[in-house]
Amino acid sequence: MQNSMETFKEQQGREMEQMRELITGLSRQVFHIASNSGGSEEGSSGNPNHSLLRLARVEFPKFLGEDVQGWIYKCDQFFEIDNVDEDVKVRIASIHLSERALQWHQSFMKSRSGREWPLWAEYKGVITK
């Protein structure tokens, strides 16, 4: 019984090592694709520099309505790291609003009377007033 348990553990160890090698190989392939993305691998934004795979796991900052300058700074950092297109920045930011900030946003969008979503520069200018 002891011998069969040791054999089983050795087999598991070999299988785990094979799995690690497979994952390492796949990770290298993903990195290569992301680094060399061209027209066929371009992101949903249509920007050839925007990879489908986010190599940095950065959470978007939540905003409750306080320290607007700090929140804007963090948003700008996120947008730069993730190479976010101008036309979706406000939409991304808006889904991370809560409490007073969300109430303000809803009022602001309603006041625009169905016009297009504002660009991030306009939104930052209005939200900091």
Could you write out the DSSP letters of every residue in 37-59? --GGGB-TTS-TTSBSS-SS--P
Residue with tokens 């007033």: 129
Is residue 30, in this structure, part of any structural domain at all? no
Is residue 107, in this structure, part of any structural domain at all? yes
CA distance 8 to 63: 52
With a cut of 50, say whether residue 88 has pLDDT above it. Answer: yes
Quick one: pLDDT band at residue 4, thresholds 50, 70, 90? confident
Residue with tokens 């808006």: 94
Contact 71, 64 (CB under 8 A): no
Q: Give pLDDT, residue 34.
A: 66
Which residues constitute the domain of residue 75?
55-127
Is residue 65, in this structure, part of any structural domain at all? yes
Quick one: pLDDT band at residue 8, thresholds 50, 70, 90? confident
Is residue 23, in this structure, part of any structural domain at all? no
Task: Give the rounded percent of residues in the chain with a pLDDT score beyond 90.
Answer: 46
Contact 36, 22 (CB under 8 A): no
Quick one: pLDDT band at residue 41, thresholds 50, 70, 90? very low
With a cut of 50, say whether residue 42 has pLDDT above it. Answer: no
Is residue 83, in this structure, part of any structural domain at all? yes
Instruction: Please count the structural domains in the chain.
Output: 1
With a cut of 50, say whether residue 112 has pLDDT above it. Answer: yes
With a cut of 60, say whether residue 125 has pLDDT above it. Answer: yes
Contact 88, 124 (CB under 8 A): no
Q: Give pLDDT, residue 44.
A: 45
Residue with tokens 């993903």: 30
Top-ranked range on mean pLDDT: pick from 17-31, 50-64, 103-117 = 103-117
Is residue 115, in this structure, part of any structural domain at all? yes
Is residue 118, in this structure, part of any structural domain at all? yes
Task: Give the rounded percent of residues in the chain with a pLDDT score beyond 70.
Answer: 75
Q: Give pLDDT, residue 31.
A: 67
Is residue 41, in this structure, part of any structural domain at all? no
What kind and span of H or E run contains 18?
helix 2-35
What are the C-alpha distances in Å from 99 to residues 69, 70, 83?
17, 17, 28
Residue 62, number of CB atoms within 10 A of its CB? 12
